[in-house]
Amino acid sequence: MDNLHFDTLIIGSGLAGFTLALNLAKTRRVGIVTKQTLNDSASGWAQGGIAASLSDEDTPEKHVQDTLIAGAGLCDESTVRFVAEHAQEAISWLIEQGVEFSRDDNHGTGYHLTKEGGHSTRRIIHSGDATGKAVQQALIEQVRSCPNIQILEQHIAIDLIASDKIHKNPTNHDKHCMGAYVLDRDNGRVRTFMAQNTVLATGGASKVYLYTTNPDTATGDGIAMGWRAGCRVANMEFIQFHPTCLYHPHAKSFLISEAVRGEGGLLKLSSGECFMADHDQRAELAPRDIVARAIDFEMKKRGLDCVYLDISHKPASFLQQHFPTIYARCLELGIDLTKEPIPVVPAAHYTCGGILTDPIGRTDLKNLYAVGETAHTGLHGANRLASNSLLECLVVARAAAKEINNQQPISMPMIPDWDESRVTDADEEIVISHNWDELRRCMWSYVGIVRTTKRLQRAQHRIDLLREEINEFYTHFRVSSDLLELRNLVDTADLIVRSAMLRHESRGLHYSRDYPDVLPQACNTVLQKPL
């Protein structure tokens, strides 16, 4: 029971993982590993929608150009075109799976299309203001009913099983992935899952920051595991801070969708004064990096705890129809957005960098793929365009599935079981919670929206000390879910800081006071472990 074999092992249960699984399950035996339940992922928290050129007024080329502009010179244009050109068929596939998008005849598509920051036209197809939830619920139903998909909830991956750890003196050409060691959280046993192909689909790493719009599961697991296995990572310095997270002591990580600004919401100071036009001519519809920096600037300049997002000038019926989830949650907290502004602050939202892959998800390690926020395909560049994230999950996962379906089976060697013979049970769990809190506060204080070289050096020093302590703990004690997440967070934090220190300019989401200018040539930051 502790050892299982799959044709494809998918680590993660968001949109990318589900899309891949459903596109493989007709011919392959698929395992989905998720550390909580199928319902727990950042995909399910997505509010705005999915970007796709669906109307007669739009084209894939316009979508490409908007993405390139937002990406500040670092998008891979071939990847951008690949994703934009396959967007419409990806949406059609979702509709076939039973996803119900908001209807409207005004755009000639039969569906309501909204507009978000950085987009030149309305192209965001959505399901009210809870698109991710609608998509995930439809796909979960399909996944649970599929006989070729085995669901392993309450399982957290520890590390990938790479051939160089099994065979002595393998050549680089021979190095490949053979599965993963996985902790069963219900009984504490470590299981060996072997697979012809393994896919990292664990989402991003925004939980490395103290304030985030992401669920607790976003601890950079896939990025850290891929890095430890020898994959390159790219552009980890580009962490997108969503400009508008609800500011309230009882609202944990609640996002106020970009679509609120897209439908006419205005950012204001407590005095009622609008300020975005002072920072960018596009005002509230500027890309997220610009809006987040503007809010950060105004808060620090004036000593504010938050700013305000006001859409109360719109009819109440319009707001209740288009933003039912946001309206209801705000009302629970005593905020009536039809009559008053919403207090908001920026919060860590999306990891633009990740495991370096090609447009169909292939990594440096043979038989290992990375999809969704875990991967760096080159789509997002230095700043992700709003609602391109769910689209990337769909297009890249479908392309990866096609690639995997065309492969011939390979023989699998014997893989040794996880060795716990030299470890004991942990006696001070408080060490883990203390280090978790210290790491996240350090990243928020020193590696946030605006950075300096001195702040990054301070962060690096603290991360080095934490890594040493965490690795010692990992070496001597039995693994636990909290320890594994902390280990992944500190590895990911190290990658973010190292990447930020290498970028001597301000571009997209990375803004340095010491290097405020943009260099004439845009270059990716690529990290590789020494052999």
In angstroms, rounded to a whole number, what is the distance separating the alpha carbons of residues 255 and 349? 9
Q: Please identify which residue in the block is written with the tokens 């937002």.
A: 70
Question: What are residue 274's DSSP bridge partners?
Answer: 268
Angle 389-405/15-24 helices, nearest 10 degrees?
30
What's the residue count for the chain?
Answer: 531
In angstroms, rounded to a whole number, what is the distance separating the alpha carbons of residues 226 and 483? 18
H-helix or E-strand spanning residue 161: strand 155-162
In angstroms, rounded to a whole number, what is the distance separating the alpha carbons of residues 132 and 137? 8
In angstroms, rounded to a whole number, what is the distance separating the alpha carbons of residues 507 and 443? 19
H-helix or E-strand spanning residue 296: helix 288-302
How is residue 68 written in tokens?
Answer: 């390139």
Alpha-carbon distance values, 83 to 111, 118, 185, 371, 413 (Å): 21, 17, 37, 13, 36
Alpha helix locations (H) across 73-130? 77-85, 87-96
Secondary structure E strands in 231-315: 233-234, 239-246, 266-268, 307-310
* Active-site annotation, residues: 288
Instruction: Let me know: does 285 contact 262? Beta carbons within 8 Å.
Output: yes
Question: What are residue 156's DSSP bridge partners?
Answer: 183
8-state DSSP, 102: P
In angstroms, rounded to a whole number, what is the distance separating the alpha carbons of residues 283 and 328? 27
